[in-house]
Amino acid sequence: MHAALTILLASPPNPAQLALSDALTAYQRPHFQQNWQLFAPTPISDERILLLRARVGDGNAARVTDYVDITSPDLATTHELRFLAPKTARIGLNLVQLLTWRDPIAQRIRDRVERDGGSENPDLLLPSEETVLEEADQLVQRYLCQAAADRWGPTAQDVQARLVVNEFPPYSRRTEPNSTGDVEIRELPWMHGCGDS
């Protein structure tokens, strides 16, 4: 029983998994989650950086700061310390992954609709995707508020982030010195009320 459920939970999306999805979801929490994509089927092929700015100060003295890169310092620490590096860089990256998570089956359908020039709204999300996104939003807000408080002190009330996705140059252009891939910038909405919680 455990063996069968484990195999189904671990395997790539398939019809049996869909048929038993409720039972599988119940079984995996909290001890038996199986997540073995490990850079597959498509490895991450871009660099993701979070930029942060905040509205600081009170009343008339309030101003909006410039955008500050909050991902690179953590990564620099990782590169510097190697074996002894703390895990802080993971939080930001995992949060970005949560923000962009889509149900693999639903995403496949959306991709097909888009390819065929369909008229359905590509931004329509499944309830399960909505739930993940809502939770991710709350966590991201907490993360950004803490990062803002670290940099600008407790008067940073509102925060806004930019997600910069820098795609790597394709394999064929890997040795060209100044070769860069596409850069995509996504602006998240202002998040308010940092000092409240």
Partner 1 sequence: MDARLRRLVTPRRAVAALAETLTREKWALGGLALMRVMYAAAALHLYLTNYTLRDELWGPGSVYPHDSYREIAVTPLTWAYTIATSAATFELVFHIGILVAVAMLLGIGGRPTVVAHAFLHISLYLRNPLLMDGGDNIAHIALVFLCFVDSSSFLSWSWRSPVGRQGRIRAEVSNAIHNVALIAIAFQVLVVYWASAMYKIQGRMWQDGVALYYILRVPEFTWPGVSELVYENRWLVFALTWTTVWFQLAFPPLILTQRFRVAILGAAVVFHLGIALLMNLWTFSIYMIGTEAVFLPSRLAARLPARRQIARSRRLRPQEEVAHAARVGGL
Identify which of residues 57 and 188 has a Cβ nearer to partner 1 in the complex. 188
Check residue 190 for interaction with partner 1 (CB under 8 A): no
Check residue 133 for interaction with partner 1 (CB under 8 A): no
Residue 187 φ then ψ, to 5°: -95, 125
Q: Taking the CA of residue 70 as centre, how many other CA atoms within 13 Å lie in the half-sphere pointing to its CB?
A: 29
- Region for 173 from its dihedrals, namely left if φ exceeds 0, alpha if ψ lies in -120 to 50, beta otherwise: alpha
Check residue 152 for interaction with partner 1 (CB under 8 A): no
In the region spanning residues 78 to 97, those forming contacts with partner 1, defined by CB under 8 A, are: 78-79, 81-91, 93-95
Cα–Cα dist 143/146, whole Å: 5
Q: Which stretch binds partner 1 (CB under 8 A): 105-113, 121-129, 153-161, 168-176?
A: 168-176
Read off the amino acid at residue 63: R
Which tokens go with 23? Answer: 């039972």
Check residue 131 for interaction with partner 1 (CB under 8 A): no
- In this structure, are residues 161 and 50 in contact, taking their beta carbons and an 8 Å threshold? yes
Identify which of residues 29 and 63 has a Cβ nearer to partner 1 in the complex. 29
The angle at the Cα of 45, spanning 94 to 34, to the nearest 5 degrees, equals 45
Cα–Cα dist 43/46, whole Å: 9
Check residue 7 for interaction with partner 1 (CB under 8 A): yes
Check residue 25 for interaction with partner 1 (CB under 8 A): no
Q: Which stretch binds partner 1 (CB under 8 A): 51-59, 75-83, 157-165, 184-192?
A: 75-83
CB proximity list for 171: less than 8 A, separation 6 or greater: none
Q: How far is the CB of 49 from partner 1 (least distance, A)?
A: 9
Question: What does the binding site for partner 1 look like in residue numbers (CB under 8 A)?
Answer: 2-3, 6-7, 10-12, 29-45, 47, 75, 78-79, 81-91, 93-95, 135, 139, 142-143, 146, 168, 171, 174-175
